[in-house]
Chain A
Amino acid sequence: MSTLQIILVSLFIYLGSIGSIIGNTLGWYTLGRPLVASFVVGIILGDVNTAMIVGIPLQIMYMGNVTPGGAVAWDLSYATYIGTAAAIVFGKGMGATEVIGLAVVFAGIGGLVGQIMWNISYAACLPLNRVANKYAEAGETGKMFIPNLVLGQLIGFAVRFIPAVLLLTSMTAASQQADFVSIIPAWLTTGLSIFGGMMAALGMGIILSFLLKEKYHIVIYLAGFILVTYFNLNTMAVTVVALIAAILYYYSVSRKVEVE
């Protein structure tokens, strides 16, 4: 990665982290989602193809990572940007499954770093309450943006951007030291690809815990499953079927309510 690329990726890691200056709707919930993050990394590093090969499984793995109640279980932004960048930097010459395994491991490392940084920012923002109190006491409505926006984001930017630059720089240095395809033994790449394939169950399992509200719902889930395994439909085709089912369901429920 060139210096410019490192800076750009780090900048997006910051923008996609929770509570960045562009807001959680555009940041955390959009730029921070693996599906979007991998696309952005792909554009910056000039390899959208590889980026999307790892971006799709990473998105599935982390589908259930939705921070209910503001509790950050895992920093998605850090995880995917680092994971995708690693796949492109280290994965040259590897097959798709091995690259995915590689991305999963680096996403884990990135997520952990991001998690630590979130905790630091959460603590470092505490004294800002004193600043806010001072301005509130003086009735200075025009200065209320200082503790929240200016000081809060100085901390937010520092703890996201700087570690990201360090991490990406050392990854680049490491990738120039050796040819990773030849160093990594076959059993490790096999193991990594098995791990990557199984990790997708994590995202699907967690998302099911939000969607399965009644016991019979499991049948609806199985319907989607067998449409792929027995009927060989692709996911886009299943989505169309699902849309039809949802519309029919919506109107049949409306009728029932009217009859009552």
Chain B
Amino acid sequence: MEKKISEKTLKKSFLNWFFWNGCSQQAESMLGMAFGQSMAPVIEELYEAKEEKSEALKRHITLYNSESQVGSIVNGIVCGLEEANANEACTPELISSVKVALIGPTSAIGDSLWVATIIPILLTIALSISQASESISWLGSLLYMIVYPVGTLLLSWYLFKLGYKSGLEGMQTFMADGTLNKLTDAMTVLGLIVVGALTASFVNMPMPIQIVRDIYDATTNTVIPDQVIFNADGIINSIFPKLLPLSLTLAVYYLYSKKKWSPLKLMGLILALAAVLTAVGYGTGFYA
């Protein structure tokens, strides 16, 4: 009789992965032990002999890594392959090599699409809601707390089932289909505009230089004391509002992405700049 993984076992395998994929992360097998836990119920159902179970478990606690949310498609694919293997339509070597081969692409898609694009864009939208009204600024937090986990759970489960049902072909259609790229591009447009707005609203950088002099007023023949005759911040902002915050943001972008500075190093630079500006501000009497 042909062996088949029951719906219940598939769900159990998925949930083991969804909740506990990061529980024992370390340098030797990365997410290997978590992958083993995810496959355990499937192996229990598919194989009878202790030796078979042992062999199957051993090939799934080896080194594995992925962006685990999008990477749940790999768990689905491997479930399908284990099922085929139990029916003698696949080999253990193939299972192991497919698993290793999928580490790269699923990490890349997961990190660039989900983690680095979807999460920040969702957060930016939530932020703009929070910022719109001070009295209900928690609304954005609440929305993100609901939308992100629920959306990700649905996507991960969909990908897991897609992997199980259509195997590697499913993975290829998912990757080759132009819809994914178009959607990412459209999300990028959305993200860029909102990030521009957030830069203008939240980044602040003063140029605290001013010159104060007593001015002699010839018409009334009096001396007006402490008049600001030069204010660097005011001049810059009248030419292009918030030019300094914009320049600082683009400088951080340049140093981070082109010069490969670490966030910590950038933080140090910003701290140093802030210290200099504070000193200059007090020196020129901008801050009293």
Footprint of B on A, CB under 8 Å?
Answer: 18-26, 28-30, 33, 35-36, 38-39, 42, 48-49, 52-53, 55-57, 59-60, 63-70, 73-74, 108, 121-123, 125-126, 128-129, 132-133, 135-139, 141-142, 144-145, 147-149, 151-153, 156, 186-187, 190-191, 194-195, 197-202, 204-213, 217, 220-230, 233-236, 238-239, 241-243, 245-247, 249-250, 253-254, 257
Contacts and interface: CB of A to CB of B under 8 A. Distances in A.
Nearest to A143: B40
Contacts of A224: 192-200
A221 B196 contact: yes
A129 B29 contact: yes
5 contacts: A25-B152, A39-B141, A152-B25, A211-B195, A235-B131
Interface stretch (B85-93, B221-229, B252-260): B252-260
Contacts of B22: 18-20, 23-24, 28
Given A19-B22, A23-B19, A57-B202, A245 B50 contact: no
Contacts of A49: 134, 137
B170 interface: no
B129 interface: yes
Contacts of B271: 195
Nearest to A233: B197
Interface of B: 16, 18-30, 32-34, 36-37, 40-41, 43-44, 50-54, 57-58, 61, 65, 68-69, 107, 111-112, 115-117, 119-120, 123-132, 134, 137-138, 140-142, 144-145, 148-149, 152-153, 156, 178, 182-183, 185-206, 240-242, 245-246, 248-253, 255-257, 262-264, 266-267, 270-271, 273-275, 277-278, 281-282, 287
A23 B253 contact: no
A257 to B, nearest CB: 6
A221 B192 CA distance: 5
Nearest to B111: A68
B61 A129 contact: yes
B194 A25 contact: no
A145 B196 contact: no
Contact of A63 (B68, B123, B241, B273): B123
Given A70-B30, A139-B53, A194-B274, A220 B120 contact: no
